[in-house]
Amino acid sequence: MRYDIEEKEVKWAENIFNLIEKKLSAECDRIGSQMPYIPVEGHYHDMGKEHLTWWTNSFWAGMLWQMYYATKEGKYADSAIGLENRLDRALEEYDHLDHDLGFMWLHTAVAHFRLLKDEEAKRKGLHAAAILASRFQPAGNYFRAWNTPGESVAIVDCLMNLPLLYWGSEESGNPAWKQLAMAHADMALEVILRPDGSSNHIVKFHQETGEILEKPGGQGYGEGSSWTRGLSWAIYGMALSYKYTGKQEYLDAAKRTAHYFIANAAADDYDVVIDFRAPMEPVYYDNTAAVCAACGLLELSEHVGEYEKRLYTVPALRLLHKVTERFCNWNVEEDGITTAGSARYHREEDREVPIIYGDYFLLEAVLRLLNRDFLIW
């Protein structure tokens, strides 16, 4: 068995998948190829009309491809391809794109190519990889995250974009892309992740010399704090870099971050807050961190020895049980499944709301447990 879990957990995952399927089938009929983000009063609006290059615009396509793979129902593939085509114009908007090309094209064109061998989709994926590669900064060895004039930062989130380059390297035969991805992962080991298993969100570099100028708090509570979604990106991202390269330091880093995450989550009975180093009150949850960490822990469990796997699968299940017991909306008339996701700590409208990537990672985790998932990353 891929995950060493009890039969009753498989049954539980089947029940949750049945609920998810009812909900996503209705959402697919309602929204088709729109680009959902945060529903307002139970309904998504189309981010593609407002902000085509927004980093979350492809998670819905990733969900559609997962559903297509799991159910073989054509409507999911049709809507995913429709979304991918809408995104074509974004590939031409070089000045508006940031480093999140992985989040945007792994879930669309690359998934399409991997599942249906569509050559045009492969070309789009390689184009996206080339744009990401062009953001590499040799002074500092990192992919520049955003385009703020006069400023250059690397962020922990980018670990999830690196698989676009690992895939692109294999498909194009260009080893440089994999080497750049590894240079960025090595930089993250050195200056983003901390030795105690926690992580910075942002590292600001001098643009000319690569000297480190600052490590601001970013979307977490503040400088030196411990933003939980960033930790989940680190667990999953480092496990993926290990998968594609076999470099032991990446696996060790994924484990260190996982141990830190699990210890903190367990202290609160697996309710995950936005930041593990923030005041006890007020309590702000972030279930996107919980479900993304669960996927990262499941991926990690696939790369460790037989007697180590449960260290990661058991907490992954605890996180998923908690989210589905307390924080899911199963009403098929309303959009969005996971509730209480938080995009950032210090903005009220971004706290404790349903967010599309929470739903993506819940779906991926449940399909993983059923061995019906498809690796988007």
Residues within the interface to ligand GLY (CB under 6 A): 55, 157, 219, 229, 343
State in angstroms the smallest separation of the CB of 123 from ligand GLY: 26
State in angstroms the smallest separation of the CB of 157 from ligand GLY: 4
State in angstroms the smallest separation of the CB of 286 from ligand GLY: 10
| DSSP code per residue over 29-85 | HHHTT----S-BTTB---HHHH-TT-TTTTHHHHHHHHHHHHH--HHHHHHHHHHHH
Question: And the tokens for 63?
Answer: 């969900």
- Which residue's beta carbon is nearest to the bound ligand GLY? 157
Q: Which is nearer to ligand GLY, 169 or 228 (CB)?
A: 228
Place of tokens 């290990």: 242
8 A C-beta contact, residue 225 and residue 238? no
Residue 280 phi, psi (nearest 5): -60, -35
User: From residue 321, how far is each of 1, 13, 275, 291, 339 by CA, in Å?
Assistant: 21, 10, 20, 10, 14
Nearest Cα to Cα of residue 27 among 329, 324, 333, 291: 333
Round to whole Å and give the CA distance between 288 and 355.
Answer: 8
Q: Which is nearer to ligand GLY, 84 or 98 (CB)?
A: 98
**Quick check: helix, strand or coil at residue 19?**
helix
State in angstroms the smallest separation of the CB of 219 from ligand GLY: 6
Q: Which is nearer to ligand GLY, 3 or 361 (CB)?
A: 361
Q: Which is nearer to ligand GLY, 5 or 376 (CB)?
A: 376
Q: Which is nearer to ligand GLY, 55 or 105 (CB)?
A: 55
State in angstroms the smallest separation of the CB of 174 from ligand GLY: 26
Q: Which is nearer to ligand GLY, 199 or 219 (CB)?
A: 219
State in angstroms the smallest separation of the CB of 242 from ligand GLY: 21
Size (the chain), residues: 377
